[in-house]
């Protein structure tokens, strides 16, 4: 009897030990995995996903025009996204992992390497853009939860940042060509505040009134000309007003050759690269609808 009792005690101890081990393993598996370290050289990542620029698309009534501007730089609001998209495919065929350092941008080519600086605390890091978004509240970029944590705004949810394009990253397929834009050849800007009746007049009035602030153009001076078109207005007075604001950026032209709108543009520039360099500065000043126009 005594031996049988000891056997029962040992069996119970063994079962208890197994139960405790199972509880311990379950607790370990339920712990969130540690965040990965930021790669020392993101350019050395193995090719995965596909190169993608895409075509113009509309979300919530807003049109987005993907383009490959090698001089892209902009300042705006960053947000972050996580669990609701974790494990789902990104816009270029990769799998979103909220624990990895990555980002979504509405127009940059994918996958891109960008440098993001949190202007509120000075933290800077490079990350992979492999998805599209964000699509609300005029936000500039959407970071993974891990990236937001590294930049120090996971708790706040939003931060003012500067985004600078660095390079394309390795991927499958054919990479997009620098300077490619999906924007239409012309675009009419949203109506500016209406000028007073005295300021109204036909487009021809641009030649006399704007002569001191902008050059009058008849279209393309040569096949090798490139411009940054900031806006186009049906009201000549609005075009003159914007031209005056842009004088500090260099040569400004008012072009009514395509009529009836008057286009306000900077240039001409000898190459698309020069034009995109100016475009980055124009975008940084808040003229987000500006685009590069080439005569060739």
Question: 256-287 pLDDT, tens per residue?
Answer: 775 678 888 998 888 888 888 888 888 877 77
Contact criterion met (CB below 8 Å) for 101 and 45 = no
pLDDT at 36: 43
**Positive or negative CA dihedral for 263, 265, 270, 276?**
negative
* Nearest one of 89, 105, 109 to 97, comparing CA atoms: 89
Q: How far apart are CA 186 and CA 231, in angstroms?
A: 9
The pLDDT of residue 170: 92
- Under 8 Å CB-to-CB from 268, ≥6 apart: which residues? 221, 222, 225, 226, 227, 251, 253, 295
SS3 (DSSP) at 234: coil
Q: Give tens-digit pLDDT for 226-267.
A: 888 888 887 788 888 888 888 888 899 888 775 678 888 998
Number of H helices, E strands in the chain: 5, 13
3-state DSSP assignment of residue 272: helix
> What strands lie across the sheet with 262-269, from one edge to the other?
215-217, 252-255, 262-269, 226-233, 291-294
Token pair recorded at residue 222: 């040569």
* 51 touches 178 (CB < 8 A): no
Q: Are 85 and 98 in contact (CB under 8 A)?
A: yes
Looking only at the bridges linking them, the beta strands covering 215-217 and 252-255 are parallel
Q: Distance (Å, rounded) from C-alpha 249 to C-alpha 182?
A: 25
Give pTM, 2 decimals.
0.55
> What pLDDT, on a 0 to 100 scale, did the predictor assign at position 2?
58
Strand residue runs (E) in 134-244: 141-144, 159-168, 215-217, 226-233
CB of 125 closer than 8 Å to CB of 86: no
Output the pLDDT for position 32. 44
- According to the model, what pLDDT value does residue 14 have? 65
Find the angle CA(44)-CA(45)-CA(48) to the nearest 5 degrees.
140
Residue 270 carries which DSSP code?
S
Cα distance between residue 265 and residue 242, in whole Å: 10
Rounded to 5°, the CA angle 108-109-111 comes to 115
Report, as ranges of residue numbers, the positions in the chain whose pLDDT lies below 50. 28-40, 186-212
Tokens of 68: 């490959």
Distance, CA of 46 to CA of 70 (rounded, Å): 22
Q: Which residues partner with 294 through β-bridges?
A: 226
Q: In whole angstroms, what is the distance from residue 65 CA to residue 201 CA?
A: 33
> What's the CA gap between 37 and 35, in Å, rounded?
7
């Amino acid at each position: 009897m005594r031996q049988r009792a000891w056997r029962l005690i040992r069996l119970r101890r063994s079962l208890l030990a197994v139960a405790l081990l199972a509880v311990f393993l379950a607790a370990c598996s339920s712990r969130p995995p540690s965040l990965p370290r930021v790669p020392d050289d993101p350019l050395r990542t193995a090719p995965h996903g596909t190169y993608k620029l895409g075509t113009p698309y509309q979300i919530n009534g807003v049109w987005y025009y993907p383009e490959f501007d090698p001089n892209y730089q902009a300042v705006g609001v960053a947000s972050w996204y996580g669990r609701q998209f974790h494990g789902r495919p990104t816009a270029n065929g990769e799998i979103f992992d909220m624990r990895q350092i990555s980002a979504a941008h509405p127009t940059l080519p994918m996958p891109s390497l960008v440098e993001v600086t949190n202007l509120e605390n000075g933290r800077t890091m490079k990350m992979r853009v492999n998805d599209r978004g964000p699509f609300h509240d005029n936000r500039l970029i959407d970071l993974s939860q891990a990236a937001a944590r590294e930049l120090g705004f996971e708790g706040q949810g939003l931060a003012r940042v500067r985004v600078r394009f660095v390079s394309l990253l390795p991927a499958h397929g054919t990479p997009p060509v620098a300077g490619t834009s999906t924007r239409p050849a012309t675009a009419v800007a949203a109506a500016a505040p209406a000028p007073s009746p005295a300021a109204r007049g036909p487009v021809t009035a641009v030649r006399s009134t704007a002569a001191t602030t902008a050059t009058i153009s008849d279209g393309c001076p040569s096949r090798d000309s490139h411009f940054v078109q900031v806006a186009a207005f049906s009201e000549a007075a609005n075009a003159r007003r914007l031209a005056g604001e842009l004088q500090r950026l260099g040569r400004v032209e008012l072009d009514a050759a395509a009529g009836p709108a008057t286009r306000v543009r900077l240039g001409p520039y000898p190459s698309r690269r020069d034009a995109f360099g100016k475009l980055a500065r124009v975008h940084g000043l808040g003229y987000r609808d500006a685009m590069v126009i080439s005569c060739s």
